[in-house]
């Protein structure tokens, strides 16, 4: 017993490796590494992994809203006068007189373009007289 060594270790102080670990975690959270370092590359890689991998495990419920388009086919073409020409399938309109046809055409066009005024319309028929489509000229 020639020598007696006395070491004092504070029970509350973390050891050196633990301090280094906490410093590394703090530096990652505060983003204190420069571009081009391995730590920066690790942070960017973790972010990219989160972005591309988590949708496979987490349902974010971010589906687009389903729209119910109008059941009739409508084709919109601009005309030379600054208005629009709407071509509407004949099966979408069931009115017999001119007022009923105009009202139904207006109801089909309004959800697409908002409030418009029908200037005129033409009926395209096949050789047997059945209505194929309507060409409707409108103006805002």
- Domain range for 29: 16-57
> pLDDT digits over 97-138, tens only?
888 888 888 888 788 777 888 888 888 888 888 888 888 888
Residues with Cβ within 8 Å of 43's Cβ and at least 6 positions away in sequence, in order, are 28, 31, 33
Residue 44 included in any domain: yes
Task: Please tell me whether residues 47 and 82 are part of one structural domain.
Answer: no
Task: Please tell me whether residues 81 and 130 are part of one structural domain.
Answer: yes
Residue 135 included in any domain: yes
> pLDDT digits over 81-93, tens only?
777 788 888 877 8
Residue 11 included in any domain: no
Number of structural domains found in the chain: 2
Per-residue confidence (pLDDT) for residue 13, from 0 to 100: 57
Task: Please tell me whether residues 50 and 81 are part of one structural domain.
Answer: no
pTM of the entire predicted model: 0.46
Residue 39 included in any domain: yes
**Domain boundary pick from 7, 26, 57:** 57
List C-alpha distances in Å: 136 to 44, 126, 132. Answer: 56, 18, 13
Average pLDDT value for the chain? 80
Task: Please tell me whether residues 89 and 52 are part of one structural domain.
Answer: no
DSSP characters over 21-61:
HHHHHHHHHTT-PPTTSHHHHHHHHHHHHHHHHHHHH----
> pLDDT digits over 9-59, tens only?
555 655 567 888 888 888 888 888 888 889 899 999 999 999 999 888 888
């Amino acid at each position: 017993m020639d020598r007696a060594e006395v070491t004092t270790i504070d029970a509350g102080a973390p050891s050196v490796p633990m301090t280094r670990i906490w410093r590394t975690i703090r530096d990652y959270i505060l983003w204190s590494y420069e571009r081009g370092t391995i730590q920066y590359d690790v942070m960017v890689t973790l972010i990219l992994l989160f972005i591309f991998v988590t949708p496979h495990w987490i349902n974010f419920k971010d589906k687009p809203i389903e729209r119910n388009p109008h059941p009739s086919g409508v084709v919109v073409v601009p005309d030379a006068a600054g208005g629009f020409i709407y071509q509407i399938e004949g099966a979408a309109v069931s009115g017999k007189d001119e007022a009923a046809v105009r009202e139904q055409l207006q109801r089909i066009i309004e959800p697409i373009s908002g409030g418009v005024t029908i200037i005129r319309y033409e009926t395209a028929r096949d050789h047997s007289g059945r209505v194929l489509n309507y060409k409707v000229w409108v103006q805002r």
